[in-house]
Chains A and B, each alone.
Chain A
Amino acid sequence: MKISYNWLKEYVYFYLSPEEVADRLTKVGLVVADVKPVEDDFCLDIEVTSNRPDCLGIIGIAREVAAAVGGSLRIPEIHFVTASDEISTFINITLEEPILCPRYTARIIRHVTVESSPEFIQKRLKCIGLRPVNNIVDITNYVMMQTGQPLHVFDLDKLTEQKIIVRKARSGEEIVTINGARRALFHDMLVIADSRRPVAIAGVMGGKETEVSESTRNILLECAQFEPRQVRRTSRALGIASDSSYRFERGTDPEGIDRASQGAVQLFKDHAGGEIAGGAIDIRTGRHETKKITLRMERLHKVLGVEIKRDVAVDILTKLQFTVLNDVDNFIDLEVPSFRGDVYREIDLIEEVARIYGYNNIPTKTSISIRGSARSKYEIVEDTIRRFLTGLGFYEVKTFSIVDTSPLQSVNLWSDKGSIDIANPLRQEESRLRTSLLPSLITTKRYNMDHGTERVKIYEIARIYLAGNTLPEEKACLAIVADTDFLTLKGIVESLFQNLGMPLKQEWTGFNESKLFLDERSASIQMDNTVLGYLGEVTGELGFKTQSCLAEIDLDILIEKSLFAKKYQKIPPYPPVFRDLAIIVNEEVTWSSVEKCVAEAKAALLKEMHFFDVYYGKQVPAGKKSIAFNLCFQAQDRTLTNEEVDSSQKIILDTLYKILGAELRKA
């Protein structure tokens, strides 16, 4: 909210420069974002939090200044004389919706002269960024800015049958608002109507047909209280936000209505002439109940961590216009002023005291009790992966979880349940929760290609979102994109598994996802009948200039399978014996079947087996291939003899022959 410095000084006594006031206000929670000189005045732009509608009027700000700097408040007195004609002879008001409009008041001034408003009003309105219109409109704005209470003026002669009915809109009704827009109204909206039609959207905006014009002679001043949520809903539904709706939806002071109305009437009389009809219409359901709250000194101390003396607290609360009701040492009974709807509990009083006492005067405690904290397995796994990949030269990236609906982004390796759409997206580009990290990493690679970095090694750890019952499944994944060949990335992933303490007993089986992978060059990785992830070479369709591979791995399963407890294995004191073998098999025989076959041979002395080459060519018959590998034999209790190794090797070769028809390749 913007306020005028000179105007503020009219209501509270202080000797502070605009910057000094700004600093004090900021320290009590009214952040002054800007102080700007305007002619011989200053405009202070204040950020008022949504719980403080009382500060949406300059008197409210003056109250805060008074409490913060100790100056006294000077709220002007109101005097005016009324004519003998009673208001009821000019208007008939019916309140049909007492819950949505707890209080409705009206005053009437007849024979006004509509002209420019006096200079002091124009100057102040201009200072805070409002455009002067005419004396009537300017005065309603002036009083709203002064008190925080919105007001509205109708041209009395344009109200059909001199009637005001506060009711809900009827279906099919319309209104042209003062800004010239035609609005269709709905039956749950509250309107101010005459006998024929709506003349204002309650608390939001008035109608064009009944607004004050140069020919206006008689006016009706409305000053009311509207239920905040109702105003908010209507304002949102119609897309109209006004100074008035802004205040009503935050809650106005039910007891401030009459004062605002009287203040406006006095200004009308002074600056637009005419005569004030006797009395006022004031329809309300029940009275405002004054809240009473007790503040325990011991609780104040406990919450703030500093002992504030009772008389200090009393002084603060009194300046904020709370009424102290008792005089006992250890607690304060208080009455809450009607404009402080936000204060209804002891904790709210504690905040009031703390605010004015000064947050910066509360001590900063430098010790805290001991409590152990350990990294969870999730964090250990995540950190291990990051360190591992960082060491291998991978960069971590972060990409958006909300993506577009392109075919690439619809890739879903994990589920066939479909994706989750945003109901209120800002743009089509961000309208769906992603089901894979890989499309975003591909985009990132492409971005870097276009910006001069041809080769990348990147990864992301983030969640993907798979449609579920009520809440989706949020699966944490690790995705990798690297300019390597298939086996290099496979090796990286296998080393990663080992780093996480997982045994290397994964099954790699063929898997197709043609939007991402080259056919026959992609695999699903499984372990104990669970899918760990997918890995494959990038399809040419993606237009990469380099050979690239992708992998997406389920992080939650890695967490489950990882094992960080390490048990020492005795280092064998006797030397191993190595044998290099090459076998000739049919070309469709896979390495994993060779491995399995060797395992089946159960050669007792075999310790390890390592692949080193596969060969097609002249020395190998057509339809066959040669697979070369290295066998390591070792015993814990002796040095092996050649004969022992030979017989163990023979068992292996025999099994390979029996199961796979493998022949030993002669050099």
Chain B
Amino acid sequence: MLDKLERIKGNLQEETKAINTLKGAEQLRTKYLGRKGSINDLMKLIPTLPVEKRAAYGQQINSLKIEITDIIEGLIKKFSSKTIPKNKTEIFDITLPGKRPSIGKSHPLTQTIDDIKEVFARLGFDVAYGPEVESEYYNFEALNIPPDHPSRTDFDTFYIKGDILLRSQTSTVQIRIMEKQEPPIRIIAPGRVYRPDTVDARHSFMFHQVEGLLVDEGVSFADLKGVLNQFIKTYFGQDIKMRFRPSFFPFTEPSAEVDISCSLCRSKGCNVCSYSGWVEILGAGMVDPNVFKAVHYDAEKYTGFAFGMGVERITMLKHGIGDIRLFYENDMRFLSQF
């Protein structure tokens, strides 16, 4: 009887050596542990034995069963982990593109305004807003642009009714803030402005400006240069050069236009800079005493500077965009690039 057990065990060990697939291992399991398998055959013999031997024999079959189970399960485990890649027909390609979630974007003009806000926030400037539908007083008179003055031609304007108009510049916010607040003042005012220009690649009847204003005691033109230099280097890059040219704005004196070295051609001359190596990016100057007078500030005690820039213009320069209309078409193929 015990021989039989030993023989089964011996046979299994022999057969095990020849097994090298999961299928073989599973066949082995059926052969030994299945309903008609060797172990079950042994179990069937128990009732034929003398009563006193049955318990011991049963124990021995059980321990053999455990032993065989261990061996076969081990084999199955071994081959099943091994055979997974072998069983699959495809090879996993880790270079396939990742499944990218669709993330939206802020409009490029918003991104520019955010960048500008951030530079100036670090210099202590608050963000201020004002109405877009304004009176002539805020758009012109308070900014030292009297009626019938030729400089009004530079600020052609959409009118609504009477002296109500669409602001042609964000400088209106200067007046609104100074009327409400005493110096020191440090604000930037981003927003939409409107001018009756026929739309083409360079012009739009609506565009965005950011106005800046700083008023305090002892503020000088040298401070204006410093603040704008900080902005230009941060926004356009440390290697960009800045140039101030005298100009004229009714609300500043002295007034300046600020050019930066053309980054597209590295100042060698291209059509963006009209072959001059310089590109105009903003207007600036010391707040005109007449503007302080309009808001009842003491022009002897306080000095200040103001600047204004076109958001479309600097965005176009930064990204090499050649047509302002793209900003308002909102083609996803455009918006997704920024």
Q: Which residues of A contact B226 (CB under 8 A)?
A: 364-368
A371 to B125, CA, bound (A): 8
- Contact between B131 and A28, CB atoms less than 8 A apart: no
| Interface residues as binary, A368-385 with B (CB distance below 8 Å gives 1, 0 otherwise) | 111111111011000000
| Residues B254 and A49 in contact, CB atoms below 8 Å apart | no
A-B contacts, 13 listed (Cβ < 8 Å): A50-B150, A50-B153, A52-B248, A355-B246, A355-B254, A359-B256, A360-B243, A365-B226, A394-B104, A420-B160, A448-B331, A453-B333, A471-B131
Known interface pairs A354-B221, A364-B225, A422-B160. Does A386 touch B106 (Cβ–Cβ under 8 Å)? yes
Q: Are B331 and A371 in contact (CB under 8 A)?
A: no
Instruction: Select which of A50, A360, A372, A471 is within 8 A of B151 by beta carbon.
Output: A50
The answer on a CB contact under 8 Å between A396 and B110 is yes
Q: Does A625 lie at the interface of the complex (its beta carbon under 8 Å from any beta carbon of B)?
A: no
| B55 CB–A CB distance under 8 Å | no
Q: Which of B206, B242, B245, B257 contacts A402 (CB 8 A)?
A: B206
Please indicate which of the listed interface residues A389, A395, A470 has the most CB atoms of chain B within 10 Å of its own CB: A395
Which residue numbers of A lie inside 8 Å of B, CB to CB? 26-29, 31, 33, 49-52, 228-229, 232-233, 249-250, 302-306, 345, 347-348, 350-351, 354-355, 359-360, 362-376, 378-379, 386, 389-402, 420-426, 430, 433, 444, 447-448, 451, 453, 456-458, 462-463, 465, 470-472, 474
A375-B109 in contact (CB<8A): no
CA distance A465 to B126 in the complex (A): 25
Q: Smallest CB-CB separation from A27: which chain B residue?
A: B245
Q: Is the CB of B223 within 8 A of A305?
A: yes
Q: Which segment of B3-11, B87-95, B191-199 sits at the interface?
A: B191-199
Which one of A423, A425, A453 lies within 8 Å of B161 (CB-CB)?
A: A423
* A249 adjacent to B186 (CB under 8 Å): no
Q: How far is the CB of A377 from chain B (nearest CB, A)?
A: 11
Closest B residue by C-beta to A472: B133
Chain B: interface residue count, which band?
Answer: 35 or more
Question: Is B220 a contact partner of A365 (Cβ separation < 8 A)?
Answer: yes
With A and B bound together, what is the CA distance between A364 and B124 in angstroms?
Answer: 18
Q: A50-B154, A355-B254, A401-B132 are in contact. Are A29 and B331 (CB under 8 A)?
A: no
CB-CB < 8 A to B124: which residues of A? 368, 370-373
- Contact across chains for B254 and A350 when beta carbons are under 8 A apart: yes
Residues of B with C-beta under 8 A to A303:
220-221, 254, 286, 303
Q: Is there contact, CB below 8 Å, between B331 and A375?
A: no
- Docked-complex contact B205 and A364, CB < 8 angstroms: no
Given A345-B289, A422-B159, A423-B160, verify A365-B223 contact (CB < 8 Å): yes
Q: Which chain A residues border B289 with CB–CB below 8 Å?
A: 345, 347
For the complex with contacts A29-B246, A396-B107, A448-B330, 4 further pairs of A-B residues with Cβ separation under 8 Å are A373-B186, A390-B105, A398-B327, A400-B328
Whether A386 touches B133, Cβ cut-off 8 Å, given contacts A249-B150, A402-B206, is no
Within 8 A of A (CB), among B137-180: 147-151, 153-154, 158-161, 164, 166
CA distance A426 to B197 in the complex (A): 8
Contacts of B223-237 to chain A: CB distance below 8 A: 223, 225-227, 229-230
Residues of chain B within 8 A of A462, CB atoms compared: 192
By a CB distance below 8 angstroms, the chain B residues around A364 are 222, 225-226, 229, 242
In the complex, A249 Cα to B184 Cα: how many Å? 38
> In the complex, are the beta carbons of A463 and B132 less than 8 A apart?
yes
Nearest CB in chain B: distance from A438 CB, A? 14
Distance (whole angstroms) from the CB of A33 to the closest CB of chain B: 8
**Residues from chain A with Cβ under 8 Å of B245 in the complex:** 26-27, 29, 31, 359
In the complex formed, the residue of B with least CB distance to A350 is B254
Q: Which residues of B contact A302 (CB under 8 A)?
A: 218, 220, 303
Judge whether B218 and A232 touch: CB under 8 Å. Answer: no
- B119 CB to closest chain A CB, in angstroms? 12
| Closest chain B residue, CB of each to CB of A426 | B196
Cross-chain contact of B248 among A33, A49, A447 (Cβ < 8 A): A49
Q: Say if the beta carbon of B81 comes within 8 Å of chain A.
A: no
Tell me whether B135 is interfacial, beta carbon within 8 Å. Answer: yes
Complex interface: chain B residues within 8 A of A233 (CB): 148
Contact for A371 among B102, B186, B194, B254, CB less than 8 A = B186
For A444, list chain B residues within 8 Å (CB).
Answer: 330
Judged by a CB distance under 8 angstroms, whether B297 is at the interface is: no
- Residue ID in chain B nearest A463 by CB atoms: B132
Given A359-B245, A457-B104, verify A423-B253 contact (CB < 8 Å).
no
Whole-angstrom distance between the alpha carbons of A390 and B243 in the complex? 38
Q: Tell me which of A33, A49, A367, A378 has the highest count of chain B C-beta atoms within 10 A of its own C-beta.
A: A49
Q: Could you tell me if B133 and A420 are in contact, using CB atoms closer than 8 angstroms?
A: yes
Cβ–Cβ contact B103 & A368, under 8 A: no
Contact with A along B251-273 (1 / 0, CB 8 A): 00111110000000000000000
B62 at the interface (CB under 8 A from A): no
Residues of B within 8 A of A463 (CB): 132, 192
Query: Are the C-beta atoms of B125 and A373 separated by less than 8 Å?
Result: yes
Q: How far is B285's CA from A29's CA once the two chains are assembled, in angstroms?
A: 13
- CB-CB under 8 A from B22, the residues of chain A are none
CA distance A420 to B123 in the complex (A): 39
- Chain A residues contacting B43 (CB-CB under 8 Å) are none
A306 to B148, CA, bound (A): 36
Given contacts A347-B288, A398-B330, A448-B330, contact A305 B220 (CB under 8 A): yes
Question: Which residues of A sit under 8 angstroms from B328, Cβ to Cβ?
Answer: 398-400
Report Cα–Cα, A359/B158, bound state, in Å: 35
* Residues 312-338 of B at the A interface (beta carbon under 8 Å): 327-333, 335-336
Q: Does B244 count as interface, using CB distance less than 8 angstroms? A: yes
Report chain A residues within 8 Å CB of B102: 393
